[in-house]
Structure 1
Amino acid sequence: MAGFELMNKHTFEINTTPGASPGTFARIAAGITNVEPNNNEELSQDRYLDGDGYGETDVIGAQTVLTFTGHRKYGDAAQDFIFSKLLELGPSRRTEFRWTEPDGGIFEGECTIANISGPSGDAGSKGEISFEIHFNGKPNYIPPTP
């Protein structure tokens, strides 16, 4: 699979001690089966008289959101921290997040943990979970070292 990296080569980390410097970053990996990044783009779609009825699109806003799904693993530092926020609102859902790509590029910044769900499922199955990490503002991107 030359040129194609597997998703398990990405590293996702959440700060479990928000406000502390340098913080304690725990890897989001155990029990996680899928992650879906989305730029949640806001579009301006306009039609002008000189376009013969055809429109044009500009991206006028965005927010990077990662949706994680998988199974609840109790005792995992990242999952325990995230699920400890289930009933919390406001600033207590904020922390820092870091996403390292296989080539070494890093997206990092402040985030909010949102839409925490589960565990749920059939009686004989592993507890299914999902949660989202919403970057607050544009993430800082550190390019890979050549």
Structure 2
Amino acid sequence: MAKNKNALRKHYIGPYKEATPDTPPTAEEYLWLAKGLKTSSPENDEETDDSAYFDGDGTKEEMVISKRRGRTFEGHRDYSDKAQNFVAEKEDEVGDDLVVWYKEVSSDGKTQKEGLARLSEIEIGDGEASELETIKFKVVWTRKPKKSAVVPG
């Protein structure tokens, strides 16, 4: 069985354009979230409903009725990185100014998930004086992302 390192999973962030809300960024507009970032953690939030039915034995079934997915990224702040700068520029924004495009490519490079997302919990600079400056943020899809095959480019 093939095993892949987490570093092979690629994460991209790009601008949302109000004039063309359903059009993802071009390859040139997408920014690779990688430089200085050490960890990526799933952000999953599910809302469920438990119900028992008469066609069963009375045991409740858990049904997922809503799901929200995304990632939290953490690492060292690098002022030369365009992706980190894109996130940092949104540190003080609220509402729709935090809407972005987010794309995640599987570690085998065969499939991707892409869709509108929202940035939150942007934190820059934390820790002791002797430590490197940090960056931390969360990006969560605002609806179910579109899953597709990666087209070699």
What's the TM-score bracket when you normalise by the shorter of the two chains? Answer: 0.7 to 0.9
- 2:44 aligns to what? 39
Structure 1: give runs of 5+ residues left out of the alignment: none
Structure 2: give runs of 5+ residues left out of the alignment: none
Q: How does 1:1-146 map to 2 (within 5 A)?
A: 3-15=2-14, 17-19=15-17, 22=26, 24-46=29-51, 54-103=59-108, 104-143=110-149
User: How many residue pairs end up in the alignment?
Assistant: 142
Identical amino acids, percent of aligned pairs: 24
List, as ranges, runs of 4+ consecutive aligned residues in structure 1 with deviation greater than 4 Å. Answer: 47-52
Tell me, what secondary structure is at the counterpart of 1:41?
strand
**RMSD of aligned alpha carbons:** 2.1
* AA aligned opposite 2:124: G
* Contact 1:100-1:107 at 8 Å conserved across structures: yes
Can you list the C-alpha shifts for 1:48-80, whole angstroms capped at 9, x where unaligned? Answer: 78756x532111110112111111111210000
Tell me, what secondary structure is at the counterpart of 1:129?
strand
- TM-score, length-scaled by structure 1: 0.86
* Contact 1:40-1:65 at 8 Å conserved across structures: no
